[in-house]
Amino acid sequence: MKWTRDFGLTMRMLLTSFLLLIVYLIFLGVLYALGFPFEFLLVVAAGMAFLQYFFSDKLVLWSTGTRIVAEDEYPELHRMIEGLAVRAGLPKPQVGVMPSPVPNAFATGRSPSHAVVAVTDSIMRMLTREELEAVLAHEMAHVKNRDMLTLTMASFLSMLAFLIMRNWFFMSLFGGGNRDNNMGALILVYVVSIVVWLVSTLLTRALSRYREFAADRGSAELTDNPRALISALKKISGRMDYIPAEKKQEVEGANAFFIIPALSGNTLMELFSTHPSLEKRVAALEDLAAGAP
């Protein structure tokens, strides 16, 4: 299989990454110019990024109740994932099943050799074989594109800014030195941290949405059947309207990983969406189905 690139999408991802880099350099420059002792928080943020990168898969599996399943338990699911892994030139990931009435799927893991592709038990009952394969191919595309690594790196200094925001009052109490000067500098750092956190969060979410488009394209190329993914996305999205809000709230913490987020309707996540709209995804897949580059 030839893994092609969407040039326009790639350029948008590169531009977003470049803007993130500029924001982070400005943020670090302001901290340095003010003489702010941010080394400890930098170490803490690095530690958080390390834990997120190396242990996020285990945390996601634990928090969602996903169980790694053997081939004799779900032989058809294993065969589909193994076939897609061969087509994508990847090692076969571990296979997980999540008990939930919310039809969904996700991939996690720090690298192709440490990946997990999981589905909910309800999605296997709802989709046809072709639709389920298209959904699994979307998740395999995430693995091939190393999206976990990309988004962890993109969110690193956003975590640092968030830590400064949360610990600003503590730092103001123990700043030492000239109290007035320190307080003025701390207030400026706090304001800059808010701006950096907001801008970097919006840019990271934009990057996440671009990664979803890329995974949709990868699914279409792995299966040579973009209409199967269109059908699957419409079914999953339509089913969400009938899922009780409390059931969607139970899994909202994993929405960034899901193929379609399970929004309960009373969360700010809709303002900072990690996924493009269904309409835009379907339009992009329709273009692929029509033979557009």
Cα–Cα distance for residue pair 61/38, rounded to 1 Å: 33
Question: Which element (helix H / strand E) includes 202?
Answer: helix 179-223
Our answer to whether residue 139 is catalytic in this structure is yes
* Residue in 139, 212, 221, 250 annotated catalytic: 139
Q: Which of 111, 118, 141, 128 minimizes the C-alpha distance to 220?
A: 141
The token pair that represents 270 in the structure block:
């809709």
Report the distance separating Cα 183 and Cα 179, nearest Å. Answer: 6
**CA torsion, ordered 21, 23, 26, 27, to nearest 10 deg:** -110
Query: Which residues does 161 contact at the CB level (< 8 Å), separation at least 6?
Result: 27, 193, 194, 196, 197, 200
Residue 23: what residue type?
A: V
Residues identified as active-site: 139
